[in-house]
Structure formats: structure tokens, C-alpha cells
Structure 1
Amino acid sequence: MVAPLSAWPWENLGCFKYLLYGPFLAKVLYSRFHDQEASEYSWCLHILVICALRGLIHQIWSSYSNMLFLKRNFRIIEHGVDFKQIDKEWDWDNFIILQALIASMASYMFPFPANLPFWNTKGFIAVLTLHMAVSEPLYYLMHRYVLHGNSFFTHHHSLHHSSPVPQPFTAGLATFSEHLMLAVIIGIPILGASLMGYGSIITIYSYVLIFDFLRCLGHCNVEVVPYQIFKTIPFLRYLLYTPTYHSLHHTEMGTNFCLFMPLFDAIWKTLNGKSWELHKKIRSNLGKSGRVPDFVFLAHVVDVSAALHAPFVFRSFAALPFSPRFFIIPLWPLTLLALLMMWAWSKTFVYSFYKLTGRLHQTWVVPRFGFQYFLPFAREGINKHIEQAILRADKLGIKVISLAALNKNEALNGGGTLFVDKHPNLNVRVVHGNTLTAAVILNDLPKNVEEVFLTGATSKLGRAIALYLCRKRVRVLMLTLSAERFQKIQKEAPVDCQNYLVQVTKYQAAQNCKTWIVGKWITPREQSWAPPGTHFHQFVVPPIFSFRRDCTYGDLAAMRLPDDVQGLGCCEYTMARGVVHACHAGGVVHLLEGWTHHEVGAIDVDRIDLVWNAALKHGLRPVSSSC
């Protein structure tokens, strides 16, 4: 049975909870259109503006704390934020709605912005005094003796402590009853100053927004407060807490109960003795291992819209498979500007990380748009940045670096061969992962298949698929206009299997074949030659349009990571949660198997089954069999 006041009244409304802001907006619009006095609607307008700013503060802090490429060395808890925590904190902003409703009721009882001056210095002093003298000690006592009381903690406050990695959104994760108490804490200084006749609009705005700012600061999991400040002004450490200080409350709950001021922990002897030393250690990076990842997946930006799928932009958006959403349209120009700045900065940055079998896996991103890979004059610059990332990985001691999609384009660098040939003494293993990609596609084919139609037949993947299938006595219709390239591949096949490879130059040749393997983008007109019931397997980027209703379409080759993966909280582009592209998974297998060769250039057909079996052995599963 749910404890009283532990659930939110609008818990079952989902995204429709934002309709609770509707009366405020309606009041503002009605008053504006009917030329009513400012006092009739200004309090509603101020509430809406404050709510928007509060949400923005939490979002900015969330983005900052997840920018691993900037502050990963100052992270307090180094674990990644997983999907479970993200889902639990999905409705973190419930408290903003609650306090908006409380403010609307208070406005009828007490003077609110329309009746208050814009600024009042005495009001600022009054709010600060009431906060330090009333709100801080009251919160401390309530936090220590009520929230952490056995019964209340079990039924209410334990939810807040259930997030293993504090995040700015964790500050909002609490039950309805807790936020009612917090509303009292935040309301006392504002209401008190107003009743004393010292209230002002700026005072209300400042106090509420600074309150949220400091709450996000304490939960950001990145130590942003320089230790030198406390060294210069020692008493300041008792007036302002730090992210390190507050994180210790989440790991050692019997200490550090303060709201923002450790002074009250010191007075009541609940101050954690490790607070200042740990803060110094993190900020100075002394004794911190700065663990080097074992594996890196070198990704790239697909397009401007997809760039918003990064975890440091919208965490909840990144936790779902990418798809165009209406809210990203207004952000397009700003995102483009940010990408151009990253392009000018031209440094590979850390995108996300997770742990698998105790090994740290990271995703690095080359700040290049997808279309740039097809510009001849951009080739040299792109290869330069990929090379720098490989050399950086080698210097750090990373074991395997896997190249994503266009970073291993054959025309760009020969599937990674360029870098291995240029730097023969690399300790890091460079992997394109296409061996596992080929294995995923081949194992997705029907067991009794006798004939397939293959586009992109002379590509790296197309060649490997064709050679593998002909050895299995499967007839492969290879679509290519180049007889020379076809014959070159055909000669690689065993003599008694070469007749299973057939060159075709038109799509009409496949009008009786129901198994298509698409490695080159095909138009709806070209798809029309497939007979009804055809299944389109594909390894083409971007995927082809699902044009035919009488046919089925496979997804891009991918594998589901093992169940013991930790800290994974973002989806890889359009992939489902826990699913990565096969080339990414191929690099993971390369690491887990401890293979010491580079996997670059042409695919070794003899290793396809070996890599497939190794992937299954380590718990990776084909998506088609795990859904």
C-alpha cells in the first residue's frame, strides 16, 4: 500500500500534467486582451516566468554535469547514469508545478509581485537573514530527524536516495510530502520579507532561482568549487556547501544534513570529516587514478538534428531512440552554431561511457557532419582528426579503438588501413568491426535461403557476404556494372563455388528473389522490382525508405549488449536501449577476446563465424532474437 502523500496527485497524467499551467496562461491572455489592470494578471505571468527559469536552470546544470569532455576529471562518483535512474527521475519537475500552485494560492492571501516594488535593499537583507536564521536550521532539523526518521525515510525519503549518481535532476526527485516541506522552507524568507513590508520582485526572483541554483550545484556530481577559495577564506567552507560535501550525504547518510550551509552540521556535530580533504583531492586531482578506458568507439555527428541526441543536451531525449521531434526545430540554428564552434575547435570529445565486465568503454566523437565525409576537399582534414584520436588513444594506453560508420569509409581511409600503415608500432588495436556486421546480416538470413539479391555487392561488406554465401552454396545475384570488380571477387571464391556468384546489372534480375541484401541506397522505384513478400536486409546508411507495404524491412545490423552492462544511459542514434551498431559490438568483442591484431581493410571471411561465436559467448545477442 502506498504511504499517504508519497504519490503525486497528477502522477497518472503523464505529459498532460503541464496543462496545470493552463489557468495561469489563460489568466494572462484574458487579462491582456480585455485591458485589465496589471494587478489582475501580473502574478500569473511572474509565476510562469519563474517556472520557466527554474526549469532552464536545472537543464543547464544537467547539460554541464554531463559534458564529460570538459569536466570528467572532476567527477565525484565516476559511474555513468543508467536508464533506470533516468526513468526514475523523468518527472523531476513535479515540484515546480506544486510550488506554482502554492504560489497562486498565496497570492490571494498575501501581497504578490503586482503590489510589490521592483527592488528593495532591505528586502534582500531580510530574505538573507530569514534564510540563515530560520530556513537553514529548520531544514537541518527536519532533514535529520524527520526525513531520515525510520518510518518516513522508508516510505518517502528513500526515493531521493535511490539514485546512485547524484544529478541536477535528482534534486527534484522526491515524494509529494517532501516537496510540501521544501515549499515551506523556500516560502518562509519570501513571505516573511513581504509581510515585513520589504518584499520586491527582484528579491523573489533572486531567492527562488538562487535556491534552485544551489540545489543543482550540490547534486551536479562535478566538483566546481575551487579549493583555493576555502584556503584563502577558511570560514567560507561553513557558509557554502560543495558538490563533494553533498555527495557524501548520499553515500554516508548519517552526515552532512545541511541545506546549503555546513555551519549547522558543524554545530550539531554531523559534519563528515572527509568533506574538505575529499574536496581538495578532487579539485587538485591528487591521487585520482583518472581511469583510462579499455575501449573507445569513435563516432561522428550524423546531422544537426541528431547532434541534439547527445546526453549533455537533453538527457531524456538521448535515453530514447533518436527520431525527429517538434521541440528540436527551434533549437536547430543554435545547434548549428554550436557544431560550427566545435568544428573550429576541432577536438575529439568524450560523448558517453559505460562499463561491461568491469571494463570501461567510452564513446568519442569527431566533430564532423555526415555530409562532410563526401566532400573531396574535406577528406584530408577528417583523416587528420581520426588519426589524432587514434594517437591519443595509443598514448593513453587504450587497448581497442573501433571506427564508426563513415570514419572507416573505404574511400576515406581504406577501412582504417591508412592509419595502421602510417603508424606500424601502434599499441592500440584499430578495429572497423565490419566482420561482426557481416556476421549479423548473414545470421539474420533464413536458414533455407537458396538465392539472394545483393546491392553494394563490391563494397567491403558486400564482398564478404557474397563470398561467405557462395561457400554455403547460396546463389548470389551481385548487382554491379563493373565486370572487373565482380571477377576479382569471384576469383577469391573456391573454384567449385564460383558459379554461385552471378553478376547482374539491373534490378529486374531480382524480380523473383524474395531475399534482398541492400548495401547501396535504393529508391522506391527500384524497390518496386522486388516480388511481394520480400524482406530487405540492409547495411546501408541512411536506411532505405519503407516504401512497400507488401514487403518487410530489417534494421541496420546491431547487437544487444549483455545484461551486466553498467552506466549506460543513452541510445546509440536510432537503436533501442542497450543496442549498439554491429561495428561497435565488433570492437567490444575484439577487446573481450584479447585479440592483438588490427581489424582493418578487407574482411577476413574465414573469421566471420569465429567473431559471431565469440560475440554470443560474451553475452551479446542479435536484436532479432532478443526482442
Structure 2
Amino acid sequence: MVAPLSAWPWENLGVFKYLLYGPLAAKVLYSWIYEDSIKDLWCLHILVICALRGLIHQLWNSYSTTLFLTRNRRIKQEGVDFKQIDREWDWDNFLILHALLAYMACLIFPSLDDLPLWNPKGFITLLFLHVTVSEPLYYWAHRYFHEGYLFTHYHSLHHSSSVTHPYTAGHATFLEHLILCVVIGIPMAGSITMGYGSTSMVYGYVSAFDFLRCLGHSNVEVVPHEVFNKLPFLKYFLYTPTYHSLHHTEMGTNFCLFMPLFDAMGNTLNRNSWHLHKKISSDSGTKNGRVPDFVFLAHGVDLTSSMHAPFVFRSFASVPFSTRIFLLPLLPVAFLVMLIMWAWSKTFLISFYNLRGHLHQTWVVPRFGFQYFLPFAMEGINKRIEEAILRADRIGVKVISLAALNKNEALNGGGTLFVEKHPDLKVRVVHGNTLTAAVILNEIPKDVEEVFLTGATSKLGRAIALYLCRRRVRVLMLTLSTERFQKIQREAPADCQNYLVQVTKYQAAQNCKTWIVGKWITPRQQSWAPSGTHFHQFVVPPILAFRRDCTYGDLAAMRLPDDVEGLGSCEYTMERGVVHACHAGGVVHQLEGWTHHEVGAIDVDRIDIVWKAALKHGLRPVSSM
């Protein structure tokens, strides 16, 4: 049975919970449209304050997850995983609660509309009441919530988040936030009752309260230890992210709201607080962070997908990418950021996860899909990729895997350019196409006798054609280049060469129900496929699912093992825990400890080897799920 006041009254409403702001918005709109001035001005203030509080949490989320800025300041190195994100999905419930209670206060005390904009006495009174009432009240209430029944049924939810995050600050039960309302409300109510209240006081106090709560839960140390060296007394009046993180690991200590003074008075101050804070703060300026074993070098696809990064919207990044209407107004901002990233020309770390003790990171080249097809941009793109490879080599990365366009044949020969230019590289450069080919080939039923292949002379097309002809499968290779076709045909065993057939028109496949698409095809071209055709594909972007009487495969991908830790974002349109096959190919390369580069043409003899290695390490084909 659920404990009283532990569940939120609107927890089953989903996104419709935001309709609870409706009465406030309706009053403001009615006054604005039908009256000379906005009556019940505090309805507008409440909505603005809620939006401001949400923005404070969002900005702290962006900062704490901007790994390329904060990785050396992180307190706990683990990432926030999908389970924690789901638990904290409704972190903003408390904003609705506070808005409704504030609205009730406005109805009870209509004189609030007469508050002045500024009154310095109000800030002094507010500070006094906060220190003498709110801080000790929160301290003792927090300690009680760590005892027996209260902890089990109420406070354990907050501590279920193993890695603190700004959204963790709002993740608590209904009862806890009712008490937090009292903690926040007493200083403001007291100051207003004494006649010293002001609008700026309310805005300032609520904003500062949320700012400090997010700071403590940010998991990023931002307070320099030199401040406490010069002003030792200050460490008792301002907590730090390190200080609060210790409360989540050693729960019998550091209970204060913002002032460690009360922990010192209550004999609950963690002895390691200042030592750990000094260590993390001192190390933040160094580059001695943990070196990843594997790096996946990704790139942007388009402007809307650039907002799928964890440091933009965490919840959006935790589900497969799709274009959402709420993103459209943000496109100008994304375009501006794109220009800044293009000018900055630095590779960014955006996510990481741990797999069986190996740290895997995703770096992003600040280039978008369309830029890869601009002739004047190719040199600059290769320079950025080369810099990323050299940086990985310099810090001791074992394997770096190139995402789709970063290994484009026309751009750098599938990574060959960098290996030939830097023959002494210690880091292994991997395009991952061997596993991509293996995934596609293992999706094709064993009893298939004929396939139609577009993009037939590409790296993947060549490997797929040669592999299938060895299996005595007839491959209709769509290409206008007889020379390139014959070159591939000569690579096949003599007794298998007749299974490779050059075709120049889509009409040749009108009786073939297995299409392998490696070059984008239009709906008109798809119309030549017979009913019941399945379209396997390795083309970026994926082809349009035009035919209702046919089925379409996804891009080649694999599901990571279940023991992966810290994974909290989806890779583009992939499901949770699923990565593109070229990414997975690099993972396998690193886990196996292979010492060769995987660049240029695919070694057909290694397709089965790589496939078996992937399965051995717990990676699974998505199609079998």
C-alpha cells in the first residue's frame, strides 16, 4: 500500500498535468484581453517565477552535462543512466505544487498585489528568517526523514538517484515538497507580514533557493577551494556540490540545506568534506582525468538532431530522435550554435558509458551532414577528424571508431588517409564497416537465392556481394560502371563469379523480393519491387517507407550488453541501448584487443570473425529482439 502523501495527486495525468497552470493563465489572459489592466497581477508573477525556476534547472542541466567543459570537475564519474532519467522524469512536479499553493495564498491575502518593487529591509529580514528558521527547520526535518518509516516510504525515492543531477533536486515525494514549501515560505511570509516585502524579494529568494539547490546536486565542483583558504569561516555558510554529494554516499552526514554550520552544530558534518572538496577543486585544472579506452567519433546530421544532445534536453536525448514541434522555435538558436561550433572547430565530448570496466566516450566533430558534401569544406573536415585522432593517440585511447560520414570514401578513403599519413599511430583507427556488413548479411534469410543490391560498388556493397556469392546467392549488382563491377567480380572465387550479375536498371529486380539498399532510392524506383519485398539498407539517410505492401529494415545496429553502465542518451534514431553497427564494430575491436587498423576496403574473410566476436561479448542484433 502506498504511504499517505507519498504519491503526487497528478502523477497519472502525464503531460496533461501542465493544464493545472490553466486557471492562472486564464486569469491573466482574461484581464489582458477584456480589462484595462491585468488584475490579480500575482497570477502573472507566479507563472513567470515557475518559468524562471524551470529555466534555472535547465541551465544547470546543460552545464553539468556539458562534458567537454566539466569532465575534470565531476565528483562522481558515473553517467546518469536511463533508469535514473525515467525515475526523475517528473522532477518538475514541485513547480506545479508551489504554483498552486502560491495562488491560494494570493486568494487569501489579496494585498499581495500592492507589494512594492523594492524594499531593502525585506532582504535583511528575509536573510535573518532564513538563517534562524528555514535552515534549522530543514536540517531537523531532513534528519527525521532519514529514520525508519519516513526514509523507507518517503525519502528513499530521492536517494534512489545514484548520481546527483540538477533534476535530482526536484525529485522527491509529495510530502517532502509540502515541507519544502514551508521552508521556502516562512522567510517570505514573515518579511511580508512585517511590512517589508517586495516583488524583487520574492523573485530573488526563490531564484537563489533553486540556484543553490541545483548547485548542490550538480555533481560538478564549481566552488574554488582557494575561497575557503582565504576566508575559512565561509565554508560554514555555503555548501558545495562535493559537500552535498557526500550526503548521498554517506547518508548519516551533511544534512544541511545550504549552511554546513548546522551540521557542525548537530555533529553530523562529514570529516572528509573539505579534504575531498580541495582535491576535486585542485585537480579540476589538470588533465589527469581517466583516459577512455574507446572513442566513437560522431558528427551532426542536421539542425534539429543537434538538439538531441544530452546537454540540451536530457529527456529528449534519452529517447530515439524524431522531429518534434516544440523544437521548431529553437531552430534559429541551433543555427547560431552551429556557426559558433563551426568557427570554434573543436571536437566535443558529449557522452560516455562504461562497459565491463572499459570507459567508452562519444566525441563529436562540429560538422553537419550537408557540410560533408561541400567541396570547399572537405579539407577542413578532414583536419578536424585528424586532430581528433591525434588527440586520442596522444592521451592513450586504444581504439577510435569513425561514424558514417567521417569515414566517407570520397572524403578520406574510409580512414586510410590518416593511417597512411601517420604510420606510427598507437590508437587503432576503425571504420566499423566489417560488423555493419555482418549485421546486414545475418539479417538475410539463409534460404534466399537472389538479392538486388544498390550501392553495389561501395565498400559495403562490394563486401556484401562477395560474401553472398560465396554462399551461392545470385547478386544483381546495380551499377553503370562495368569496369568497377568486373574488378569486384574478379575478387570472387572462380567458381562463384557467375553469381555476380551486373544490372543497370531497377526493372531487373521486379521479381526479386530481397533488396539491399546502399544508395538512396526514390519512391518511383521502389515501385519496381514486387509486393512482399523486404528492403535491407545501409544508406544514410534511410529511405522513405513508401510501399505499404513491403517491409523496411532499419539501419544496421546492435544492442549493447545488459551490463553497460551510465548510458543515458540514444544514438540518433536508435532505441535505448542500441548503437549503429560501425560504433559497435569499434567496441568489439577494443574489447578483443585487436592491434590492426580497420580502414579502407572490408576484408571479407573477417566478417564472420567479427560477427562471432560481437556475439561473444554480449552484443546482440536488434532484429532478433
TM-score, normalised with respect to structure 2:
0.99
Paired residues of 1:300 and 1:368 also in contact (CA < 8 A)? yes
Contact in 2 for aligned 1:300/1:407 (Cα 8 Å): yes
**Alignment of 1:203 onto 2:201:** yes
- Pairing 1:200-349 to 2, within 5 Å after superposition: 200-285=198-283, 290-349=289-348
The Cα offsets for residues 571-594 of structure 1, whole Å up to 9 and x where unpaired, read as 000000000000000000001111
How far off its partner does 1:108 sit?
1.9
Partner of 1:476: helix, strand, or coil? strand
Q: How large is the Cα RMSD of the aligned pairs? A: 1.0
Do the aligned partners of 1:296 and 1:361 also contact (CA within 8 Å) in 2?
yes
Residues 479-514 of structure 1 deviation map (CA, whole Å, 9 limit, x = unaligned): 000000000000000000000000000000000000
Q: CA deviation at 1:36?
A: 5.5
Matched-pair contact (CA < 8 Å) for 1:46–1:113:
no
Give a deviation string over 1:508-560, Cα, whole Å, max 9, x none.
00000000000000000000000000000000000000000000000000000
The residue that corresponds to 1:21 in the other structure is: 21
1:426 aligned to 2:425?
A: yes
Q: 1:432–1:516: structure 2 CA closer, same or farther, 3 Å change rule?
A: same
The residue type equivalent to 1:156 in the other structure is: Y
Which runs of no fewer than 5 residues in structure 1 stay unpaired? none
Match in the other structure for 2:623: 624
Aligned to 2:173: 175
User: 1:15-58 deviations in whole A, cap 9, x for unaligned?
Assistant: 000000000000111122221654x3211100000000000000
Q: In the alignment, what sits opposite 1:104?
A: 103
Contact preservation (8 Å) 1:43, 1:112:
no
C-alpha offsets along residues 219-252 of structure 1, whole Å, 9 cap, x if unaligned? 0000011111111111111111000000000000
Question: CA-to-partner distance for each residue in 1:168-216, whole Å, 9 max, x for gaps?
Answer: 0000000000000000000000100010000100000000011000000
Once residues 517 and 500 of structure 1 are traced to their aligned partners in structure 2, the CA distance between those partners, rounded to angstroms, is 16
Give secondary structure in 1 for the equivalent of 2:329. coil
SS in 2 for 1:26: helix
One-letter amino acid matched to 1:617: K
In the alignment, which residue of structure 2 is the partner of 1:150? 148
Distance 1:122 1:486, change over 3 A: same
State yes or no: 1:76 paired with 2:75: yes
Alignment of 1:78-157 (within 5 A): 78-110=77-109, 113-144=112-143, 146-157=144-155
1:295 and 1:112 map into 2 onto residues whose CA distance is: 62
Say which is worse superposed, 567-576 or 372-381, in terms of deviation: 372-381
Look up the equivalent residue of 2:259 and give its one-letter code. M
Q: Which amino acid aligns with 1:182?
A: L
For 1:350, the equivalent position in structure 2 comes to 349
Structure-to-structure mapping, 1:488-527, within 5 angstroms: 488-527=487-526
In structure 1, the residue matched to 2:569 is: 570
Shift of 1:150: 1.1
User: 1:520 is matched by which residue type in structure 2?
Assistant: K
**What is the DSSP-based 3-state SS (H/G/I as helix, E as strand, rest coil) of the residue aligned with 1:271?**
coil
- 1:359-387 deviation per Cα after TM superposition (whole angstroms, max 9, x unaligned): 00000000011111111111111111100
The answer for the alignment partner of 2:547 in structure 1 is 548
| Residue of structure 1 in register with 2:390 after alignment | 391
8 Å Cα contact 1:75-1:221 kept in structure 2: yes
Aligned counterpart in structure 2 of residue 160 of structure 1, from 136, 158, 161:
158
Cα distance in 2 for partners of 1:143, 1:18 equals 29
Paired residue secondary structure (1:437): helix
Aligned positions of 1:34-53 closer than 5 A:
34-35=34-35, 38=38, 40-53=39-52
In 2, Cα distance between equivalents of 1:203 and 1:375: 54
Name the stretch that deviates more: 542-551 or 23-32: 23-32
Q: Answer whether contact 1:27 1:41 (CA < 8 A) is retained.
A: yes
Residue in 2 that maps onto 1:609: 608
Give the AA of the match of 2:530: P
Structure 1 consecutive aligned stretches of length 4 or more whose deviation exceeds 6 Å: none
- Post-superposition Cα deviations, 1:278-334, rounded to whole Å, max 9, x if no partner, equal 111001108995110000000001111100000010000000000000111011001
User: 1:279, 1:574 → 2: CA distance?
Assistant: 39
SS at match of 2:524: helix
Counterpart of 1:209 in structure 2: which amino acid?
S
- Name the SS of the counterpart of 1:352 in structure 2: strand
CA distance in structure 2 between the partners assigned to 1:596 and 1:369 by the alignment: 31
- The CA distance in 2 between the partners of 1:77 and 1:175, in whole Å, is 24
- Mark the CA change 1:204 to 1:433 in structure 2 (over 3 Å): closer, same or farther: same
Task: Sort the Cα spacing of 1:57 and 1:99 in 2 relative to 1 into closer, same or farther, 3 A.
Answer: same
The residue number in structure 1 matching 2:447 is 448
> How far apart, CA to CA, are the structure 1 residues paired with 2:287 and 2:510?
63
Answer yes or no: is 1:185 the counterpart of 2:178. no
Cα distance between partner residues in 2 of 1:598 and 1:613? 19
Aligned to 1:4: 4
Q: Deviations over 1:449-504 (max 9, x none)?
A: 00000000000000000000000000000000000000000000000000000000
Partners of 1:143 and 1:437 in 2: CA distance:
53
Letter in 2 for 1:552: T
**C-alpha deviation, 1:113, in angstroms:** 4.3
CA contact (8 A) 1:440 1:582 kept: yes
SS of 2:12's equivalent in the other structure is: helix
1:111 Cα deviation after fit: 5.0
In structure 2, what residue type is equivalent to 1:279? H
Question: AA paired with 1:394?
Answer: D
Letter in structure 2 aligned against 1:509: A
Query: Are the equivalent residues in 2 in contact too, given 1:61–1:168 (CA < 8 A)?
Result: yes
**Residue deviations 1:256-276, cap 9 Å, x none?**
000000111111111111111
Distance 1:555 1:201 in 2: 55
The one-letter code sitting in structure 1 at the alignment partner of 2:472 is R
The one-letter code matched in structure 2 to 1:225 is: V
Deviation, 1:339, is: 1.6
Counterpart contact for 1:111–1:194, Cα < 8 Å: no
Partner-residue secondary structure (3-state), 2:298: strand
User: 3-state SS of the aligned residue for 1:204?
Assistant: helix
Secondary structure at 2:259 match in 1: coil
- The one-letter code of the counterpart of 2:601 is A
Q: Give the whole-Å Cα distance in 1 for the aligned partners of 2:449 and 2:348.
A: 46
Q: Quick one: percent identity of the two aligned structures?
A: 77
Q: 1:110 deviation in Å?
A: 2.5
2:363 partner letter:
W
* Counterpart mapping for 1:404-483 below 5 A: 404-483=403-482
Greater displacement, 352-361 / 100-109: 100-109
Please tell me whether the aligned partners of residues 452 and 515 of structure 1 are also in contact (alpha carbons under 8 angstroms): yes
Per-residue Cα deviation, 1:404-461 (whole angstroms, up to 9, x for no partner): 0000000000000000001111110000000000000000001100000000000000
Unaligned stretches of 5+ in structure 2? none
- Where 1:574 maps in the other structure, the secondary structure is coil
- 8 Å contact 1:281–1:288 — kept in the other structure? no
Which stretch of the first structure deviates more once superposed, 277-286 or 444-453?
277-286
